[in-house]
Amino acid sequence: MNKFDEISELLQRGKPRDLSALVQAELAEGTAANDILIRALIPGMSAVGERFKKNEIFVPEVLITARAMNAALNVLKPALAQAGVEPIGTALICTVKGDLHDIGKNLVKMMIEGTGIRVIDLGVDCPPERVVEAVKEHKPDIVCLSALLTTTMVYQKETIDALKAAGLRDSVKVMVGGAPVTQAFADEIGADAYTPDAATAAEKARSYFD
Ligand code: B1M
C-alpha cells in the first residue's frame, strides 16, 4: 500500500489521531500538502460518499470520518495557508441554511486564506439574514456560499436575494460552490462566480484584487 492509500485508509476508518500523525509525518518528509489533499484525503472522502450512497455505512460512520477529515485538514492548514502579512481583503464564508456539511467550506476557507485574504467563517446552517447582518458588520469584498444538498442550494439564491433586498448586493462579489452546484445554476441565481473546487475558488477570489 502506498502512502496516499494508507492515509486514505485511515481516513475511511475514522482514525483522527493516527491519521493526523501520518499526515504530519508525510509533511515532514517533504510530501506536498496539496498532494496529500488531492491524492489521499479527497478520494478517501469520495469513497466514504459512495459507501454512504449504497447504504453500506450510515450517518454515524460518516460523522466519524468527517471528524477525522477535519483533524487532517487542521494539520495541513499551515502548509496550505502561506504566512499572511497584511490581508488584501475580506471574505465571508458559510454553509447555507439547512446544511450541516462543513468540510468543503473549511477547505475553501483555508485555500482562500492562503492567498492573503482574511476570511470570516459564519459556520454551517447559516440563514440569509445572518449573512446580511454579517455583510453590514464586516463589509467584506466577497461572500462565499457552500451547499452540499440539492435541497439547500435554493438558499444560495435566497441569500443573494436577501442581499439585494438589503441594498448590499453590489457591494460584494458572491461566489457559490458545493457538489450539486453548477455554472448554469450559478448563472440562474445571479452569483458572480461558480468554482468547482477549493483551489479554483481561491484563485477566483484572489483575482478580484488583481
Ligand atoms: Co451528507 N450527503 N448528508 N453528510 N454527505 C452528501 C452530500 C451526499 C451526496 C451523500 C450521498 O448520498 N452520496 C448526499 C446529498 C444528496 C443530494 O442532495 N444530492 C448527502 C445526504 C443525503 C445527507 C443527509 C440528508 C443524510 C441523512 O441524514 N439522511 C444529511 C443532511 C444533513 C444536513 O446537512 N442537514 C447528511 C449528513 C452528513 C454528515 C453530517 C453525516 C456528514 C457531514 C459532516 C461534516 O461536514 N462535518 C456528511 C458527509 C461527510 C457527506 C459526504 C459523504 C462527504 C461530503 C464531503 O465532505 N466531501 C457527501 C458525499 C460526497 O460528497 N461524496 C455527502 C469532501 C469535501 C472536500 O468535498 O464538500 O464537495 P465537498 O467540497 C468540495 C467542492 O464541492 C467545493 O470545494 C470543495 C473541495 O475542493 N466547494 C466549494 C464546496 N463548497 C464550496 C463553496 C465555494 C466554492 C467551492 O464557494 C465559493
Q: Is the pLDDT of residue 9 over 60?
A: yes
As a whole number, mean pLDDT of residues 159-168 equals 98
Q: What is the pLDDT of residues 62-103, one digit of tens each?
A: 889 989 999 999 999 888 765 445 788 999 999 999 999 999
Q: What is the DSSP string of 77-93?
A: HHHHSPPP-S-SEEEEE
**23, 28, 31, 36 alpha-carbon torsion, rounded to 10°:** 20
This prediction has a pTM of 0.89
Bridge partners of 110, per DSSP, are none
Q: Alpha helix (H) ranges present in 81-150? A: 103-113, 128-138
Instruction: Name all residues whose Cβ lies below 6 A of ligand 1.
Output: 42, 45-46, 48-49, 52-53, 59, 62-63, 66, 98-105, 107-108, 144, 146, 148-150, 175-180, 195, 197-198, 201
> Is the per-residue pLDDT at 111 higher than 70?
yes
Percent of the chain clearing pLDDT 70 (strictly above) = 97
pLDDT of residue 82: 57
**Residue 86 alpha carbon to ligand 1 centre in Å:** 33
Least confident of 8-22, 34-48, 126-140, 179-193: 34-48
Is residue 77 a contact partner of residue 127, using CB atoms and an 8 Å limit?
Answer: no
Distance 29 CA to ligand 1 centre (A): 31
**Distance of CA 46 from the midpoint of ligand 1 (Å):** 10
Range picked from 73-87, 110-124, 181-195 for highest mean pLDDT = 181-195
How far is the centre of ligand 1, averaged over its atoms, from the C-alpha of 72 (Å)? 17
The string of pLDDT tens digits covering residues 25-40 is: 999 999 999 899 889 9
What's the pLDDT score for residue 84? 47
d(CA 115, CA 94): 18
- CA 10 from chain centre, in angstroms, equals 21
Buried b (16+ CB within 10 A) or exposed e, 7-42: bbbbbbebbbeebbebbeebbeeebebeebbebbbb
* pLDDT bracket for residue 186 (50, 70, 90): very high
What atom of ligand 1 comes closest to residue 98's alpha carbon?
A: 35
